[in-house]
Each structure stands twice: as C-alpha cells, then as structure tokens.
Structure 1
Amino acid sequence: MNDIPDRVPTPCPSCSPDLETVHEVLTEGGGALTVRCSECGHVHKIQPETRREVTLDVVVSQEGESFTANVTTPEDEVVEVGDEFILETEEVLSTVRVTSLELDGHRRTEAAPADEIETVWTREVDNVAVNVTVHPKDGSRDDSRSVTVYVPGDYEFEVGDTETFGDDEFEIDAFVVRGDATGYDRDRYEMDGDSIVAKDAKRVYAYDQTSSAWSAW
C-alpha cells in the first residue's frame, strides 16, 4: 500500500529555507521524493520522514474458534473498535474487525495509539454466522426456535423481506446491531425497509413462512 501523500509540507531551498511550504509530490524513487514548491515552483528532492512501526498481537475469532497472529503498523496509528483491516498470514487471508483493544494491565479501551496496545481482539467478517430467532406464523413466542445461517459478511437483511435458507423460509421482522458496528443510530430496527449487513447483525428476528405445519421439534 502506498502511504506517500499527494502534497507534503517541507522547507523550500529557493524561497523558504527556514519555514515549511506546501509541496506537490511529483515522483518517488530511491528512497527520496521529488517535490515542487507551490509558492515558487522550485523542484527539488527530499527524504520522507520514516514512521516507526510496532508489531501488535491480534486474536481472531472465527465461528466459535480463535487463533492469534501479528500485524505491523505505524506506532502513532490510532486503532479503534469497529476498524476493519486485511489480515494476511501463512494460513489465512481474511478481513477482520476490531472488537476490543487491550492495554497494559488488561485494561480495555475503545481507541488507542498502536504503541499503547497490548492485544487487538477481532473477528473475521468475510463470512459470518448470523443467529435468527424464528417465531411461529401465528405470532406466538412460546414455540420460537433459533437457527444459524452462514452468509458473506456483506449479505444484506431487510425488514419485510422473505429469506430462504435450506428448509427454512422466514420473513424478517427486526434485527439487533452488534456493539462493534458503526453507522447505526440505535441498537434495534424493526421498520419495513430497515436493513443491515450480516457482519453487523447481532441477531435477526423473523416469522416462519414455511409451507409445512409448524413444529417446535
């Protein structure tokens, strides 16, 4: 991934040797940047600042199991719950989402610079398991049952839609949002048209639509 910006602040040897001015980055090569001063147009080379990096321990939860890995990131990079990144190891290549951050002394936080973090807790979100509570057609809750569906993380559930998974067919009634999801303004949605992607869903509620008679067994 190229982290070189389009513009950088740096002194200009022609018009501003003591103060930084905005420079346009023209090319990168040999560890140096060729830049053009936005004040006078002078072109010169600079050495970009090297950001120190740290290696973080990452725990990945994946369908009830977990494994550990490592990632390297700039020490001043702020990591937050809800962030997603690609984790690449010899065994796996997957997208994971930060669910918790552990600092020194087993303290937990929602966000912190990378150099303060002991462990990053994550879960895999490329493919996810979604728990669905299915109520009988008649609306009673006594014989409700729970099913688990396995879908891509970006699979969308919408209130009012009918879904079919194997022998199960049900109409979405509501859903509850995971605590690590972002972009939602409340925990529960139940209006027709409300939607959520699978990786953000803590639980989906639905009414049975199968043609066979309802059975709790």
Structure 2
Amino acid sequence: MSEIQDRLGVPCPACSPKLETVHEVLSPGEGSITVRCGECGHVHKIQPESTPEVTLDVVVSQGGESFTANVTTPEDERVEVGDEFLLETDEVLATVRVTSVELDEQRRRESARADEIETVWTREVDNVAVNVTIHPEDGRRDDSRSITMYVPGDYEFTIGETEAAESEEFSIDAVVVRGDAAGYDRDRYEMDGDVVLAKDAKRVYAWDETSTAWSAW
C-alpha cells in the first residue's frame, strides 16, 4: 500500500469528478480513507491505491546450514546487498542481511528491483559465529590457532580490549570487515578503540593472553 499523506490529489464526486483536486485526509485506514475536498468541502471516501507485490525466494545461511523461505514485497522495492529485514516463517523468526541478489540465468547483482529478482541470498545476523585467529605472544605465526566465538550480532569487538572464549583469553589486534557490512570506511580496523559489530566481522585477529592470565607470578 502506498504511504498515506495529509493531503491527496483525487477527483471530487461533487465538483470535479474527472479531474483531481487537493483533498485533506480526515481518517486514514486500510479499507478506505475519508477525505474532504479543498475546493468545495465535500467529504467522501476513497480506496487507497495498492502497489503490486511479488513473492521472492530467500535463502538463509544460519549456523553453517541454510534453508529457503519466501517473502512478499512491493514489486518496485529495491533490494540491495547489506539490507536487513525481519524474516518470519513457521520455522524461524530472525533478522537477516542480504549478501547477494540473483537475477535470471544466475546473474548476481549488488541491487535490483524486486520484480527482477529470482533469489535473495542472506545470512542471519541476530546471532553469529565469528572466526578468531590467535597469535602466540612471541609472534610465531606458525603456532597460531583458530577458535569460533558465538555471540549476538550486535556484540562489539573493540581493538585493544581483552576477550575470553573456549578457555582462551586474548587481546584483539585487528578485525576484518565483511563485504556486506555498511557504515565502515575501510575493510580492516586495527587502531585501539576501533569498534566492529560481530555481525560485520569476517575475522578477528588477536594476541594470546591465556598464559599471562593464568601465571602465578
């Protein structure tokens, strides 16, 4: 449905049945709208215009698995990589982010009108898994190890701060940002105090602090 405004241009059955005149909206509603003609003051009801809709296939990546759902949206709605929306099905209620838009013949785009799209590829961002690479304190990268943190999507990773997961304690050295994340001016953050949300983090790099944390001296 199109957005209802304070004033609309519609024909008036009393003074201008064929030409639109400015009307004041008295009582908006989904079934009908009560308006008053600005020319003659006649009050009458009109049916709001509806926007044609399309149903899109949505593939959701969730915790290493994926499933397919459907959403209905206005056909002229533009869908872009990075868009987030609430997906509600019988199986799941989750916020998802668009990671790719697929047109016919498997053509991928950054954005497209809904009526041009065959499949919207997304991933859940309410709760996410973030890969963390931990380097030993002595700097020997060959001894680096990886763990996975499971955190809410809006969890903040702050450069220079200490985190703990899977019996590990480590200080964050850098965060690589995902390509579908918006609001960042670079793809890697490594200055103390920089913050990246977990749902936007492709990988976290850190220095091991486990041995220091448990040392008795």
Q: Please indicate the TM-score interval, normalised by the length of the shorter structure.
A: 0.7 to 0.9
Corresponding residue of 1:47: 47
| Cα offset, 1:35, TM superposition | 3.6
Partner SS for 2:181: coil
| Cα offset, 1:26, TM superposition | 3.6
Q: Percent identity?
A: 72
| Cα offset, 1:148, TM superposition | 0.5
Identify if the C-alpha distance between structure 1 residues 180 and 52 changes in structure 2 by more than 3 Å, giving closer, same or farther: same
Structure with max Cα Rg: 2
Q: Counterpart of 1:10 in structure 2: which amino acid?
A: G
**2:2/2:49 contact within 8 Å kept:** no
The alignment yields a C-alpha RMSD, in angstroms, of 2.5
Identify if the C-alpha distance between structure 1 residues 16 and 176 changes in structure 2 by more than 3 Å, giving closer, same or farther: farther
TM-score (norm 2): 0.87
**1:32/1:48 contact within 8 Å kept:** yes
Matched ranges for 1:149-160 at <5 A: 149-160=149-160
| Cα offset, 1:38, TM superposition | 7.4
| Cα offset, 1:24, TM superposition | 5.3
Any gaps of 5 or more consecutive residues in structure 1?
A: none
Identify if the C-alpha distance between structure 1 residues 194 and 121 changes in structure 2 by more than 3 Å, giving closer, same or farther: same
Corresponding residue of 1:10: 9
**2:177/2:202 contact within 8 Å kept:** yes
TM-score (norm 1): 0.87
* Structure 1 outlier segments of 4+, above 6 Å: 14-17, 37-42
Any gaps of 5 or more consecutive residues in structure 2?
A: none
Q: Counterpart of 1:113 in structure 2: which amino acid?
A: R
Distance in 2 (alpha carbons) for counterparts of 1:30 and 1:178: 40
How many residues align? The count is: 212
Distance in 2 (alpha carbons) for counterparts of 1:176 and 1:71: 31
Corresponding residue of 1:66: 66
Q: Counterpart of 1:203 in structure 2: which amino acid?
A: R
Matched ranges for 1:197-212 at <5 A: 197-211=197-211
